[in-house]
Structure 1
Amino acid sequence: MAPPGAQQTSSSQSTGLRRNNGTDTALIIAVAAVAACLIALLLALAAGGAVTAQVIPGLPDPGALTRWGLPLSKITMDLAAALTVGLLLLAVFLFPSAKGMLGEQAQGYVRAASWAALTWAAAAGATLVFQLSDLLGLPPGEVLGDELTSYAGSIPQGIGLMFVILLATAVALFGRTVLSATGTFALVAAALAAVVPPALTGHSASAGSHELAISGLAVHVLAISVWVGGLAAVTFHGLRTNGENVSTAVTRFSRMALWAYVGVAIGGLASAISRLYGVMELFTTAYGLIILTKIALFVVLGGIGWWHRRSIVPKIAENSGRTLFARLAGVEIAVMAAVMGLSVALSRTAPPPPLESEVDPVFALLGFPMPPPMSLNSLLTLWRPDLFFILVVVVLGGLYAAGVVRLRRRGDAWPWARSVAWAAGLLTIVATLLTGVGTYAMVLFSTHMIQHMVLSMLTPILLVLGAPVTLALRALKPAERRGDRGPREWLSLFLQSGYSKVVTHPAVATSIFVISPYALYFTPLFPQLMSDHMGHMFMNVHFLLAGFLFYWIVVGVDPAPRKLPYLLRFVLLLLTMGMHAFFGISIMMQSEPLAMDYYGQFEVPWSDGNSDDQYMGGGIAWAVGEIPTLLVTMALMRQWARDEERTERRRERHSKRDGSDDADMDEYNAYLQRLNERAKGQG
């Protein structure tokens, strides 16, 4: 028998050997991923002609440093962004927390994310310089100074990269000190927000079907950042010898990866449709061939993911399962890295030119040609494929239906009227944003005003009456571990937060709802937002959220930080409706058409003119407010009556429990009866 010291030494050597094996495996995976990424990037760049273009004498040329430096800085930026997102997701969502505080290993991953974010910011800065160099055709050293400052502050591509630099730097700084799950959640939100700007300001912004191109690419990069970064973080953690909660992290990420895979597919499909004008361009252009290669690799990744969920995730608690997971995940990470390399090369490859019919100013501005005169047929057939709001409707409708189904299976009832109200609210979004109404709203102020009134004053009422928060709190299961935070705990925390208490204050919610239209339409903000797809999308989202917030405190049935007296609710309703009526009258009284910086860019041949159309829009804003006022008044009267009934039933139960049977009230009634009899006797 070996002495105790020898056994301890052997155990230490075994632990060190496992630690070295895990580190070596992680290093091999990282090297393979970088190699696959670079090989795919270089091959695609050469195939697309981005680095082999012939330099024409007399024309400006940024030089070889920019031709190679720009794609390399971009891929570094994308990889660092994905790693930052993945490490933060691992720390706050994939690990269980303890009463809102991160564990020791989770804190370590947040610190690692801060270093990845610092690399991200530096790569974004290099991309900014190389991008301007490529745009001006000058070497990188000659664009430093005023040109770079002007580009970063006035051109959309430069502004987007500056936004990335600022947010990534903020994540790097605050990631050094954050200890709570809430703080890390804020870092995740900042990191995801920083992923989007480069996608919104690339060549997709100039594609036809702007809504598909821009929203599709944004969804694509968000989903792939979550997928690639999350898998890399989980794989590294699984290789650690002292990695805790590996089974929990892998199981949770497996669910997240499935949604990310769907997001990558939807976003990539929408982006490809908006850039290609025929199926044959997939096979006859370098742009299409790169897309086909990405599709093939995407299918391979789907197969690997399916194998993970079916055979490996259930066995991950075993050492053999963990080793197999790490090996297969290493292959998956390498393929993902190759896909990201292809994506960067695709952004440097010229897409197919548009069709001749699509080379006109109206199409370049709107993403579609001038629509024909408005009719019922055109309103029903000229659908507007806005991917963002399509996803909003599908996701909100699907989650609500899943919650109702879960309650029904559990044997709990859910009022059918609430489901009808929620469905009707989503249908109003479809009717105003995705049909011909959304198309004509881009060229007619009156149709835009119909869209605005419905989104801010009718849709929110129906959604609020659907009681989505109540349904979520009843349908979502509590976290499996005490002190951990699942979706239900995060929702409850948000409802009880100081932010919720501030925004749901009657003065704040009413001010946002009332002041927003004046601040939008009577300032230069309106034409600026209308001229940009993201600005227009932000405007519509603001209409929805401002209306939802106001009606949530006025007529909502969900639990809120404060409950307003019904009399105050009626006062707020009458006040806001009066201000909205005055808003409509103010538009009608304008001597000059609004937002001519936008509407003046094109002529609607079958319209009566901007002034008459604006007058009609003001009349719509004045008159439409009567419908939601009547609807909310009816709902409030019904809620008030039910509240009084519940109060009376509680009083009766309290009286019976105390045995008093309302003795004071009975005595008072007897006193009144005696007075009545005395009056009759005197008469």
Structure 2
Amino acid sequence: MNEGALRVVRAAAVAVVAAAAALVAALVLGGAVTEQVIPGIGDAGAATRWGLPVSRTAMDLLSALTVGALLAGAALLPVEGARETPKLSRDSVGYLHAASWLAAGWAAAAAATLVFTVADVLGQPVTEVIGGNELSSYVGSLEQGTALMIVVLLAVVVALLARTTTTPAAAFGLLAMAGIALLPPPLTGHSASAANHEVAVTGVALHVAAIAPWVGGLAVVGAHALLGRDKLPIMAERFSRMALWCYVTVGASGMVNVISRLPSPSELVTTDYGRLALGKIIAFAALGWFGWWHRERTIPALHDRKPRAFARLAAVEAAVMAATMGLAVALARTAPPPETGTESAIKTQLGFDMPPHINLERLATLWHFDLFFGVLVVVLGGLYLAGVLRLRRRGDSWPAGRTASWFFGLLTIVIVTQTGVARYAPILFSVHMAQHMVLNMLTPIFLVVGAPTTLALRALKPARVRGDRGPREWLTAMLHSRFVRFVAHPAFATILFMGSTFALYFTPLFEDLMRDHLGHIAMMVHFLASGCLFFWVLLGVDPAPRRLPHPMRLLLLFVTMPFHAFFGIALMSLNQALATGWYNAVNPPWGTTILHDQHTAGSIAWAFGEVPTFVVLLVMAFQWYADDQRQARRMDRKADRAAERTARGETGAEEDELAAYNARLAKLAERDRLASEPGSKTARQPES
């Protein structure tokens, strides 16, 4: 083992010791391993009390390292080869092979966590759980068990595929799969049972999705420095830019999670959960200082060929991160303080109390903060505005109408997800249908007309390293990928736009999604995404694999829009209510019958289709007129150039080709005429 490998092993050992020390101290101080055993209640034993947090810490660390290794192979290191056929460098392939071993360890740690979790829930020693039938029978019935099984399966797939991956696109696919595998366990913990579980669930998802690439990326960059590999300055700069956004996301989502569980600031020092959260906040502030020092001191030192300072600081920072993750696991094992007072059944299901009788004023003023769509609107608006400002600073123009259309589309998202509409949508099917129609049929029109892809292609800078892939190159590659060509086919986009509505509401899937906050978010995201895909194909503002002619667009519009009217008529004709289990559980005392509200929803779906149809017709008419004007101007310019050449006695290339062609035809005709005359020389050919 060479000197660089020894330094990596020593740094890893320091990080493991720091994580273990922080975990043990937090478990003892938080009381998670010193609980009194009550006679008559099953006890899982000391092995489970210690084994569960240890295996969970190992799972979190290995998952972060897996993501970091995949991130290094897919994005942090430059790719090689031609732009049409890029391939991963030797170091990138090496990191993917390391990710394979790390993912295998991640799967093993998740399996151990699954066994300890079942033992903890059943209150039985882990030996009895393994020897009996409890493990197989409880895995499917426990949310945490199902979540951990998903992690095991996805981690095993990553471990197997990472051994044979050699292209950047496949590496990004594995990175996306690993990112999905991060989410199930934290989403089934305290966040799902918090008072405001809508905010808590979204906050913990953002927290985990940001902290894994931050921790894992730092560990891999530090190992790269300790091993003395090439491309370290490029790798460190790319990681530093990503780490800044991860730091902001982790801080904001962590603050949201603390507020959702500790409504009173005094509980930060008066409760065990609060004191552990306060320790995590202090560690987070220390990590911010490390990041600032990297950007100001150690990254410039890399360009001066002084990697040791970066490697030493990165090793210390990785140890602090590992200790913070151990503290986070102990925090997850510590119960938050119980809420004061009694909680209604409605608040348990919705996350908020039953709103008063519905009217227009309350729909507009009874605001309800949805963290997911709030963050989505802020991110989309900020990125779009940053692109416009970059073009303006460069001296390029961008149509104000497109900017206005984009932000009006974002405003419609705010209206249906943050106002009283979002508060009444879970309990009234009619309000939910209005929310669906706006997100699926109105918002996408304005977002598509805003041309975000065109703006991104113009605003993003090409990669600094020739042949490498930056954001602009990845966007271009995605637009030309087979996947986008398939989903952007007019037939697929149309079937998804029309058929998914019937498949959702006339199957039990609708009620299942309404009962889970993540399912509800997924449903609304699908409405928005399928609408954007369809109107992207229909309006064709941004570059697309296929561009329909204007008559075909008009035909497609008149073919698809009546289907929503048919859907509305089908709802109004039903004599049986949909999702009766859910709507009976949240039925407001001031509301009408569930079936009558469903008929109202059908009338909304039937009537709403006129609005987007009118808007799309206006956009298509303007596009058609503008296209005709461009064609006319092009023909006028061509005619003007031909007239100028004629006035100067010149001929263009096209005219020269036509004259030569006519001369050749005339020559052939004259030859045929002479050959047909009696006594001509061409008629008397000598015999061979």
**Equivalent in 230, 248, 253 of residue 244 of structure 1:** 230
2:117 aligned residue: 131
1:404 aligned residue: 388
Alignment partners' CA distance in 1, 2:638 and 2:367: 58
Note the alpha carbon deviations across 1:506-561, whole angstroms, 9 max, x for none: 11000000011111111100010000001000000000000000000111310100
Alignment partners' CA distance in 2, 1:498 and 1:176: 24
Note the alpha carbon deviations across 1:634-660, whole angstroms, 9 max, x for none: 100110111122222333344455669
Sort the Cα spacing of 1:148 and 1:382 in 2 relative to 1 into closer, same or farther, 3 A: farther
2:674 aligned residue: none
Alignment partners' CA distance in 2, 1:64 and 1:143: 15
Q: Which of these two proteins has the greater Rg computed from alpha carbons?
A: 2
1:105 aligned residue: 91
Amino acid at match of 1:462: F
State whether residues 48 and 350 of structure 1, in contact with CA within 8 Å, keep that contact through their aligned partners in structure 2.
no
State whether residues 147 and 188 of structure 2, in contact with CA within 8 Å, keep that contact through their aligned partners in structure 1.
yes
5+ long unaligned stretches in structure 1: 1-15, 664-683
Deviation at 1:385, TM superposition (A): 2.2
Q: How does 1:117-516 map to 2 (within 5 A)?
A: 117-144=103-130, 146-241=133-228, 243-320=229-306, 322-357=307-342, 359-516=343-500
Deviation at 1:147, TM superposition (A): 2.8
Deviation at 1:377, TM superposition (A): 4.1
Note the alpha carbon deviations across 1:421-442, whole angstroms, 9 max, x for none: 0000111111101111111101
Alignment partners' CA distance in 2, 1:105 and 1:602: 56
1:3 aligned residue: none
State whether residues 301 and 309 of structure 2, in contact with CA within 8 Å, keep that contact through their aligned partners in structure 1.
no
Amino acid at match of 2:321: M
State whether residues 422 and 466 of structure 1, in contact with CA within 8 Å, keep that contact through their aligned partners in structure 2.
yes
Deviation at 1:51, TM superposition (A): 0.7
Other structure's SS at 1:143 match: helix
Amino acid at match of 1:548: C
Alignment partners' CA distance in 2, 1:147 and 1:541: 37
Alignment partners' CA distance in 2, 1:582 and 1:437: 25
Note the alpha carbon deviations across 1:330-370, whole angstroms, 9 max, x for none: 1111111111001100111011102214x221111011111
Q: How does 1:620-635 map to 2 (within 5 A)?
A: 620-635=604-619
Alignment partners' CA distance in 2, 1:391 and 1:57: 48
State whether residues 211 and 385 of structure 1, in contact with CA within 8 Å, keep that contact through their aligned partners in structure 2.
no
**Equivalent in 32, 49, 60 of residue 78 of structure 1:** 60
Amino acid at match of 1:466: G
**Equivalent in 30, 38, 49 of residue 12 of structure 2:** 30
Deviation at 1:384, TM superposition (A): 2.2
Amino acid at match of 1:210: H
State whether residues 133 and 140 of structure 1, in contact with CA within 8 Å, keep that contact through their aligned partners in structure 2.
yes
* Number of corresponding residues: 642
Please state if 1:88 is matched with 2:70: yes
1:527 aligned residue: 511
Alignment partners' CA distance in 2, 1:622 and 1:101: 51
Query: Which of 270-279 and 472-481 deviates more?
Result: 270-279
Note the alpha carbon deviations across 1:241-286, whole angstroms, 9 max, x for none: 3x01000000110000000101111111111111113111111110
Alignment partners' CA distance in 1, 2:142 and 2:436: 29
**Equivalent in 9, 29, 33 of residue 47 of structure 1:** 29
Deviation at 1:64, TM superposition (A): 1.2
Alignment partners' CA distance in 2, 1:634 and 1:429: 22
1:676 aligned residue: none
Alignment partners' CA distance in 1, 2:431 and 2:592: 14
Deviation at 1:24, TM superposition (A): 3.4
State whether residues 118 and 139 of structure 2, in contact with CA within 8 Å, keep that contact through their aligned partners in structure 1.
no
Alignment partners' CA distance in 2, 1:154 and 1:385: 32
Deviation at 1:46, TM superposition (A): 1.0
Other structure's SS at 1:458 match: helix
1:543 aligned residue: 527
TM-score after normalising by structure 2: 0.91
Sort the Cα spacing of 1:198 and 1:296 in 2 relative to 1 into closer, same or farther, 3 A: same
Alignment partners' CA distance in 2, 1:146 and 1:545: 43
Deviation at 1:375, TM superposition (A): 3.3
Alignment partners' CA distance in 1, 2:138 and 2:365: 41
Alignment partners' CA distance in 2, 1:655 and 1:156: 72
Deviation at 1:613, TM superposition (A): 1.3
Note the alpha carbon deviations across 1:74-120, whole angstroms, 9 max, x for none: 00000000000001111111111014211111110110011000000
Alignment partners' CA distance in 2, 1:123 and 1:614: 48
Note the alpha carbon deviations across 1:373-414, whole angstroms, 9 max, x for none: 123443344322221111111110000000000000011000
Other structure's SS at 1:356 match: coil
2:39 aligned residue: 57
1:681 aligned residue: none
Other structure's SS at 2:140 match: helix
Alignment partners' CA distance in 2, 1:585 and 1:150: 44
Other structure's SS at 2:36 match: coil
State whether residues 151 and 159 of structure 1, in contact with CA within 8 Å, keep that contact through their aligned partners in structure 2.
no
Sort the Cα spacing of 1:307 and 1:581 in 2 relative to 1 into closer, same or farther, 3 A: same
RMSD of aligned C-alpha atoms?
1.6
5+ long unaligned stretches in structure 2: 647-653, 656-688
State whether residues 277 and 354 of structure 1, in contact with CA within 8 Å, keep that contact through their aligned partners in structure 2.
no
Amino acid at match of 1:366: L
Other structure's SS at 2:398 match: coil
State whether residues 85 and 230 of structure 1, in contact with CA within 8 Å, keep that contact through their aligned partners in structure 2.
yes
Note the alpha carbon deviations across 1:614-634, whole angstroms, 9 max, x for none: 111111111111100000001
Alignment partners' CA distance in 2, 1:377 and 1:582: 31
State whether residues 8 and 227 of structure 2, in contact with CA within 8 Å, keep that contact through their aligned partners in structure 1.
no
Other structure's SS at 2:206 match: helix
Deviation at 1:489, TM superposition (A): 0.5
Query: Which of 550-559 and 273-282 deviates more?
Result: 273-282
State whether residues 501 and 561 of structure 1, in contact with CA within 8 Å, keep that contact through their aligned partners in structure 2.
yes
Amino acid at match of 2:165: V
Deviation at 1:45, TM superposition (A): 0.8
Alignment partners' CA distance in 2, 1:251 and 1:549: 35
2:678 aligned residue: none
TM-score after normalising by structure 1: 0.92
Note the alpha carbon deviations across 1:184-236, whole angstroms, 9 max, x for none: 01011011111111111112101111221111111111111011000000000
